[in-house]
Homo-oligomer: A and B are copies of this chain.
């Protein structure tokens, strides 16, 4: 086995943009196998996935992924930095992945790499600049950009990047993720080679359905608003469309943050400001703001619109809600980051052609491999157990948001087998 390609994705749902990305990456890398690290039932924006992780695994496998590994819930609904760190650590710990492919608005790898190096190494001068911009009241992403601009304008590097270039990198949500992937690779001193896949045109990020390459956001919002399948069919590969239709027809979806209205608002109203202040990402003073708006809102969307500020975004509060739901505190994640990140490789599914890959993985992986979740405690590893219990809880709570009341039983984590696709 010479080359194994790694992809980081949410496939929420798997659309033609994802397929294009996968095909391009395969053309460039010519891998023997492709492994995806995928978020489970909650995503990076702090939302529940439109359909559960098993249905999305099926989509991934039917569209050309060979093996799907779950990004633990503790890492899935986090900032770009932690999300990327967790995902890259997993791919690295497979011991097999040789290349990782990602999209980026800014597609000059050398330039991205220079910026990522500063983030990874945090030279003293850069740290001083960053602190001074934060002290001036700039938000973290903005302070980081300014500090880097100033750092490069003074640095005596052989090559440098202009302020305009840096601004253009930090403007794209995908290039920010790309920076974080590169940074995580550097910190691990990983031999994995990054490959950039040029993004398709601007329409790809549009919130409304636009032809074949629509954004996942646009596709989800069409499905959630009850639009006909015809209106989204063009944007989805056939297997995706079939799986979505099947899953939704049986009341296993669609799920949105709205499906959690009662649970989340109830949790916010029941929690004291002291409890709220312990949830991850709740900075000093935000607990009062959260408490106030939880009382003054009639649903979660209403809450998010009222609670957000220029500095603290809608998405940030949405992630806080997921932390609240799963009981994630700042110290939980710092504990694991100090220990090197995720504690296990949880296989969600694979296709039959990748059976040799699986046996290689068993030999080479640097982490325990979970294929039978009900045996998770057998590793006798407390850290593994604690981390895995967040995944279990995520599933048990996600179940309560399913449209069909008969599907709301918990414990699916232990009853649902691996997804296996014949190929």
Which residues of A does B touch, CB under 8 Å? 260-263, 265-267, 269-270, 294-299, 325, 327, 393, 396-397, 400-401, 405-411
Contacts and interface: CB of A to CB of B under 8 A. Distances in A.
A393 B263 contact: no
A408 B297 CA distance: 7
Contact of A267 (B261, B266, B408): B266
A325 B393 contact: no
Contacts of A262: 260, 262-263, 266, 400-401
Contact of A409 (B266, B297, B406, B408): B297
A294 B410 CA distance: 8
A408 B265 contact: yes
Contact of A266 (B269, B397, B407): B397
Contacts of A294: 410
State the main secondary structure of chain A at its contact with B: helix
B411 A296 contact: yes
Closest 6 CB pairs of A and B: A295-B410, A263-B266, A298-B408, A262-B262, A269-B396, A295-B411
A406 B302 CA distance: 11
A325 B270 contact: yes
Nearest to A408: B298
A267 B269 CA distance: 13
Copies in the complex: 2
A302 to B, nearest CB: 9
Contact of A405 (B270, B295, B299, B393): B299
A321 to B, nearest CB: 13
Contact of A269 (B261, B298, B400, B406): B400
Given A262-B262, A263-B263, A401-B262, A269 B393 contact: yes
B270 A397 contact: yes
A393 B291 CA distance: 12
A396 B295 contact: yes
A401 to B, nearest CB: 7
Contact of A327 (B265, B270, B393, B405): B270
A262 B401 CA distance: 8
A298 B411 CA distance: 11
A394 to B, nearest CB: 11
A168 B266 CA distance: 43
B263 A295 contact: no
A299 B298 CA distance: 23
B265 A266 contact: no
Contacts of A263: 262-263, 266
26 contacts: A262-B263, A262-B266, A263-B263, A263-B266, A265-B400, A265-B408, A266-B400, A267-B267, A267-B270, A269-B393, A269-B396, A269-B397, A269-B410, A270-B327, A270-B393, A270-B397, A294-B410, A295-B396, A295-B411, A296-B409, A296-B411, A297-B409, A298-B405, A298-B406, A298-B407, A299-B408
Contacts of A410: 269, 294-296
A373 B408 CA distance: 39
A269 B294 CA distance: 22
A385 to B, nearest CB: 13
Nearest to A326: B270
A305 to B, nearest CB: 14
A407 B299 CA distance: 10
A104 to B, nearest CB: 38
Given A267-B267, A296-B409, 15 more contacts: A261-B400, A262-B401, A265-B408, A266-B266, A266-B397, A269-B396, A270-B325, A270-B393, A294-B410, A295-B396, A295-B409, A295-B411, A298-B405, A298-B407, A299-B405
